[in-house]
Amino acid sequence: MIKIAEKTFLVTGAGTGIGYSIAEHLIGSEARVVVHCNSHIEPAQKLASEAKTDCVVIQKDLSEPQAGQELVEEIINLGYAIDGVVNNAAIMTELSLDDNPSVWEEKWLKTLQVNLIAVSSITRRAIEHFKSKGGGIIVNISSRAAHRGDTPECMHYAASKAALSNFTKSIARNFAADGILAYSICPGFVDTEMTAEFTQNYPLSEILSGIPLQRIAQPEEIAAMVVFLLSGQVPSATGTNIDINGASYVR
């Protein structure tokens, strides 16, 4: 396993699913980890209590304005020098063209707030911090939907992830000279609670028929790639969008 001891990383949405696995792998790589969560506080606290490295939990609702900025400020005020940020927290609520216009806009706004605007606030403050210490790494967890689109019920989710992937490219292009690297990971279906909720109305056979690998990815696969990117071994790949989808969408 890659060792990144003595480095400090923030992982958002780490109380469950992909984020939890990323935090777990970083702890296993001997890194310090700030585990952010919102509703999944108990598993996050359990993870931190069992960690053999320095690990703290911060609970914050990223749907609230300024929450992203406040999250990074809180970490810095605790005395941590952040080496990398994994923007994983996201929501996916279904909508319909038949929804009341006010409901439609509310779902779009909340999705953009959590999946994009909070990420931009976290990243803006992180970039300021990275500049003061000579660099840092940002890994954004995007989606296959960012590039191929999604169902009518999840167009807002796909749009938020497309913007996130593009945001990653802008970070890479504009701040590489400051030692700041940025990568975007675009998973397809991953075996998480979010995926289970989304796919409960879809037969597994239907889902697998579109995946040449014939299986859904495991969170550990995403986590392994994140740890590798955070190790700093591939700086020339900054700005890259990395697909992890079983060849269900090949660009």
Q: What is the mean pLDDT of the chain?
A: 95
Concerning whether 143 is annotated as a catalytic residue, the answer is: yes
pLDDT in tens, 77-107: 999 999 999 999 999 998 999 999 999 999 9
In a domain, 199, yes or no: no
CATH number at residue 147: 3.40.50.720
In a domain, 222, yes or no: yes
Distance, in Å, from the CA atom of 248 to the CA atom of 189, rounded to the nearest integer, reads: 9
Residue of 161, 183, 184, 248 with catalytic role: 161
In a domain, 132, yes or no: yes
Residue of 21, 29, 121, 143 with catalytic role: 143
Closest CA to 138 of 119, 113, 117, 163: 119
pLDDT in tens, 102-137: 999 999 999 999 999 999 999 999 999 999 999 999
Residue 79: other Cβ atoms inside 10 A: 6
Exposure class string for 102-129: b at 16+ Cβ within 10 A, else e: eeeeebbeebbbbbbbbbbbbbebbbeb
Q: For residue 43, with 0-12 CB atoms within 10 Å meaning exposed, 13-18 middle and 19 or more buried, which class applies?
A: middle
Q: Are the C-beta atoms of 183 and 84 separated by less than 8 Å?
A: no
Closest CA to 209 of 199, 198, 219: 199
Q: Are the C-beta atoms of 26 and 9 separated by less than 8 Å?
A: yes
Tokens 């990074």 correspond to: 72
In a domain, 152, yes or no: yes
- Check: pTM over 0.85? Answer yes or no: yes
Residue of 142, 160, 184, 248 with catalytic role: 142
SS3 content of the chain, % helix, strand, coil (to 5): 50, 15, 35
Concerning whether 161 is annotated as a catalytic residue, the answer is: yes
pLDDT grade, residue 201 (50/70/90)? confident
In a domain, 153, yes or no: yes
In a domain, 76, yes or no: yes
Q: Which domain holds residue 129?
A: 6-190+218-241
Residue of 7, 21, 29, 157 with catalytic role: 157
- In the chain, the number of structural domains is 1
In a domain, 211, yes or no: no
Concerning whether 142 is annotated as a catalytic residue, the answer is: yes
